[in-house]
């Protein structure tokens, strides 16, 4: 009899676990219209260290990273107003590299308390200067020599598009968004994003791009993946 009760209890717990299971919010982001032409970063050619990596042909800016069918990359997607859920302290570090006198990636998202490892893959010196705008997030300004040890940063407060710049190379910028939860994603070159393991509930999904602005959509997550697509127009 005891065994049967235990079995029923186990089934009950399993059932409860199943109904409380999380789902993913997935989607594709599209840009309509023709974005402004990217500009050649010509000042880079005045810097012999950087110019040497490009055979004299300056790379361009990457304000709008868009595929042939409007697939819109570098859009930061998050769940608005979800706070106090950070697992940043136990999440592996996010990595940002300095390569070809540019930050890669240029758009990054992390959790509060999650480490950001900054590498220097170039053969020249860089200077990592982050300039947060939110109180509690500390400014840092560190020289990083070629072949120098990785630098590590983390931020305790949520902040959208926290700026990293290089004082040696004034065209170098990266934008790190910090969230107080693991529920965010940055759209890839196919415009796709995935916010994983979202607990059931009602949410407002926000898609935010440095140049194209922000949009929101309301969704309800139950036990199946939910699709939310965003269409941005060139302003």
Nearer to Cu ion, 53 or 219 (CB): 53
Contacts 24+ apart (CB under 8 A), 17-21: 18/223, 19/223, 20/199, 20/200, 21/223
Q: Provide Rg for the chain, Cα atoms.
A: 21
Identity of the residue, 24 or 97, whose beta carbon is nearer to Cu ion in the bound complex: 97
- Nearest to Cu ion of 82, 168 (CB atom): 168
What residues does 195 pair with on adjacent strands?
Answer: 25
Give me the least distance between CB of 58 and Cu ion, in Å please: 15
- Count of residues that interact with Cu ion, criterion CB under 5 A: 5
- The pattern of x and - marking residues 149 through 188 that bind Cu ion according to CB under 5 A reads -----------------x-xx--x----------------
Nearest approach in angstroms of CB 102 to Cu ion is 9
The residues near 82 (Cβ < 8 Å, ≥ 6 apart) are 180, 181, 183, 203
Closest approach, Cβ 166 to Cu ion, in A, equals: 3
Percent helix, strand, coil in the chain, to 5, is 15, 45, 45
Question: Cα–Cα distance between 154 and 139 in angstroms, integer?
Answer: 11
The residue among 23 and 95 lying less far from Cu ion, judged by its C-beta, is 95
> How near is the Cβ of 108 to Cu ion at its closest, in Å?
17
The contact pattern for Cu ion, residues 92-131, with x = CB under 5 A and - = no contact, is ----------------------------------x-----
Report the C-alpha gap between 177 and 161 in whole angstroms.
Answer: 5
Q: Which residues bind Cu ion (CB under 5 A)?
A: 126, 166, 168-169, 172
């Amino acid at each position: 009899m005891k065994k049967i009760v235990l079995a029923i209890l186990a089934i009950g717990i399993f059932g409860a676990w199943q109904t409380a299971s999380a789902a993913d919010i997935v989607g594709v982001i599209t840009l309509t219209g023709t974005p402004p032409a990217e500009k050649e970063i010509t000042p880079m050619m005045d810097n012999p260290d950087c110019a040497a990596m490009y055979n004299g042909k300056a790379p361009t800016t990457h304000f709008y990273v868009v595929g042939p069918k409007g697939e819109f990359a570098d859009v930061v997607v998050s769940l608005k107003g979800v706070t106090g859920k950070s697992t940043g302290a136990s999440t592996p570090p996010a990595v940002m590299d300095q390569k070809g006198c540019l930050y890669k990636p240029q758009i990054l998202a992390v959790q509060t308390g999650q480490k950001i490892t900054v590498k220097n893959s170039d053969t020249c010196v860089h200077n990592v200067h982050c300039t947060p705008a939110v109180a509690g997030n500390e400014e840092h300004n560190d020289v990083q020599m070629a072949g120098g040890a990785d630098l590590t940063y983390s931020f305790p407060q949520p902040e959208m598009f926290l700026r990293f710049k290089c004082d040696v190379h004034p065209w170098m910028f990266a934008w790190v968004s910090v969230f107080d939860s693991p529920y965010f994603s940055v759209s890839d070159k196919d415009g796709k994003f995935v916010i994983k393991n979202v607990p059931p509930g009602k949410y407002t999904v926000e898609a935010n791009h440095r140049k194209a602005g922000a949009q929101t959509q309301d969704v309800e997550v139950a036990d199946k993946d939910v699709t939310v697509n965003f269409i941005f127009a060139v302003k």
